A = this chain, B = another copy of it.
Amino acid sequence: MDAKALISQLADSARLAARTLSVATGAERKAALLVIADAIEAHCEQIISANELDMERGRAADLNPSLLDRLLLTPARVKGIADGARQVAALEDPLGKTLRESVLPNGIELKQISVPFGVIGMVYEARPNVTVDAAVILLMSGNAALLRGSSSAAESNQILVTVMRDALATTKISPDVIALVPSDDRETVKALLNARGKVDLVIPRGSAALIRMVVDDSTVPTIETGAGVCHVYIDEFADLKKALPIIINSKVQRPSVCNAAETLLVHSNIAEKFVPIALAALNEAGVILHCDADSLALTRNIPASLATDENWSTEYGTLEMNVAIVDSVDAASDHIAKYGTQHTEAIVTENKENAARFIALSDCAAVMVNTSTRFTDGEQMGFGAEIGISNQKLHARGPMGLEAMTTTTWIVTGNGQIRS
């Protein structure tokens, strides 16, 4: 069967199976997740054996150590995957929530409620835990999951999906709500991205290149995740005792992730005092510095280069940071509007008006006031599991948990009213 026919068949059977989710109660969906969690723990040995095959292939193919580490499953990691499913089962049911409600003058009752999308395709990279994390989030939110992982994790993904499907076979929910899309052929990704009308939504999760490819090539609606050139602006009214730890945490705590900061903006009125302190602290933390002309004049003995347009636009993902001096909240916002990626922007200030103006002029998924950019995260924000961070404005914006995997419908209940 060619890739297009295969995806079409998987999607049709997923949609039919999703009807067993549509009529299942929240308690039945939660119970199914717990059955899956137990099954994963019970099959730990087989899962690790399958993973060892992927690891061997990976080592033979000279995958780099960080990729190999992401691919690796251990008993502790398998337990962690099962516990993750249990955590999702413990969250509030995202379906059937009344979002808006009113009674019209003609007596008609109007309700907007949350409902599943239907069939969701996930396109992701090496880490096999995503296979289970995504499947249980989608299942709990009433959606069927077409999972297209990396070929490097093919054996691990296959056993995980088999275990989950076998577990579902003991419940009222059809196993066909979880399907693994074969990863031995690039054509299956292409077919998934173009299954318009068959697949309701595609979510890419992985490198910037993967996300770009999905967003560019998909005719199915997609949610663009990740990618952040995030800024920290230290206002003239900042409490500098808070500012320094916030800068260091935003840049240094985990530089590889999308909510790490890339650029520090400092108000000119405090620059002479604060920039040397900030640069010294960043330098001590191992951060390579790229400064505008004004801040370069304040480096003292700290090594730094003159920042280029490319620096201001780069998501480093490493211990590198740009520094610029600006004259106002508006100037900071201008810089961010020019170089930002609408992810997370932070202001450090004790002045409420400046905070409000910074918020009004920001156009991004999250604004941080007196705290680290690193808090743009589903778990940190209390949503439980996270399926990604949306960097776009349609439907979802910011960390996406269970609720973001639902759409809405209007329920209009009358007593025979007709329109005149």
**A interface residue numbers (CB < 8 A to B):** 15, 19, 22-23, 102, 104, 108, 110, 112, 115, 117-118, 200-201, 221, 223, 239, 241-242, 245-246, 248-249, 253, 337, 355, 357, 359-372, 374-376, 380-382, 392-395, 397-399, 407-419
Cβ A394 vs Cβ B201 within 8 A: yes
What 10 additional pairs, Cβ within 8 angstroms, besides A223-B394, A362-B409? A104-B380, A242-B415, A253-B418, A366-B410, A370-B417, A372-B414, A372-B419, A375-B414, A395-B395, A397-B410
Cβ A370 vs Cβ B414 within 8 A: yes
Cβ A413 vs Cβ B23 within 8 A: no
Cβ B253 vs Cβ A374 within 8 A: no
Cβ A410 vs Cβ B398 within 8 A: yes
**Known interface pairs A370-B415, A416-B239, A419-B380; A221-B409 also in contact (CB < 8 Å):** no
**Known interface pairs A19-B361, A363-B118, A395-B395; A418-B249 also in contact (CB < 8 Å):** yes
Checking B201, B371, B409 against A418 with a beta-carbon cut-off of 8 angstroms, the contacting residue is B371
Checking B22, B110, B371, B397 against A361 with a beta-carbon cut-off of 8 angstroms, the contacting residue is B22
Cβ B221 vs Cβ A412 within 8 A: no
Cβ B375 vs Cβ A419 within 8 A: yes
Checking B102, B397, B408 against A397 with a beta-carbon cut-off of 8 angstroms, the contacting residue is B408
Residues from chain B with a CB closer than 8 A to the CB of A418 are 245-246, 248-249, 253, 371-372, 374
Checking B245, B253, B376, B394 against A221 with a beta-carbon cut-off of 8 angstroms, the contacting residue is B394
Bound Cα distance from A241 to B416, whole angstroms: 8
Residues from chain B with a CB closer than 8 A to the CB of A363 are 115, 118
Residues from chain B with a CB closer than 8 A to the CB of A415 are 242, 370-371
Cβ B416 vs Cβ A370 within 8 A: yes
Query: Closest B-chain residue to A415, C-beta based?
Result: B370
Question: Which 3 pairs between the two chains have the least Cβ-Cβ distance?
Answer: A371-B414, A242-B416, A249-B418
Give me 14 A-to-B residue pairs in the complex whose CB atoms sit less than 8 angstroms apart, sorted by A's number.
A104-B380, A110-B381, A110-B382, A201-B394, A355-B413, A359-B411, A366-B410, A370-B414, A370-B416, A375-B412, A380-B419, A381-B410, A393-B395, A397-B407
Query: Closest Cβ of chain B: how far from A95's Cβ, in Å?
Result: 10
Residues from chain B with a CB closer than 8 A to the CB of A395 are 393-395
Cβ A417 vs Cβ B104 within 8 A: no
Query: Closest Cβ of chain B: how far from A126's Cβ, in Å?
Result: 25
Checking B201, B239, B376, B412 against A410 with a beta-carbon cut-off of 8 angstroms, the contacting residue is B376
**Known interface pairs A249-B418, A416-B246; A371-B108 also in contact (CB < 8 Å):** yes
Query: Closest Cβ of chain B: how far from A12's Cβ, in Å?
Result: 11
Query: Closest Cβ of chain B: how far from A203's Cβ, in Å?
Result: 11
Residues from chain B with a CB closer than 8 A to the CB of A413 are 355, 369-371
**Known interface pairs A394-B201, A394-B407; A412-B365 also in contact (CB < 8 Å):** no
Bound Cα distance from A270 to B369, whole angstroms: 63
Checking B117, B411, B419 against A374 with a beta-carbon cut-off of 8 angstroms, the contacting residue is B419
Bound Cα distance from A375 to B110, whole angstroms: 10
Query: Closest Cβ of chain B: how far from A360's Cβ, in Å?
Result: 5
Residues from chain B with a CB closer than 8 A to the CB of A419 are 249, 253, 372, 374-375, 380
Residues from chain B with a CB closer than 8 A to the CB of A371 are 108, 412-418
Cβ B407 vs Cβ A368 within 8 A: no
Query: Closest B-chain residue to A259, C-beta based?
Result: B419
Cβ A366 vs Cβ B412 within 8 A: yes
Residues from chain B with a CB closer than 8 A to the CB of A374 are 418-419
Cβ A372 vs Cβ B417 within 8 A: yes
Query: Closest Cβ of chain B: how far from A420's Cβ, in Å?
Result: 8
Residues from chain B with a CB closer than 8 A to the CB of A381 are 104, 110, 410, 412
Bound Cα distance from A249 to B118, whole angstroms: 31
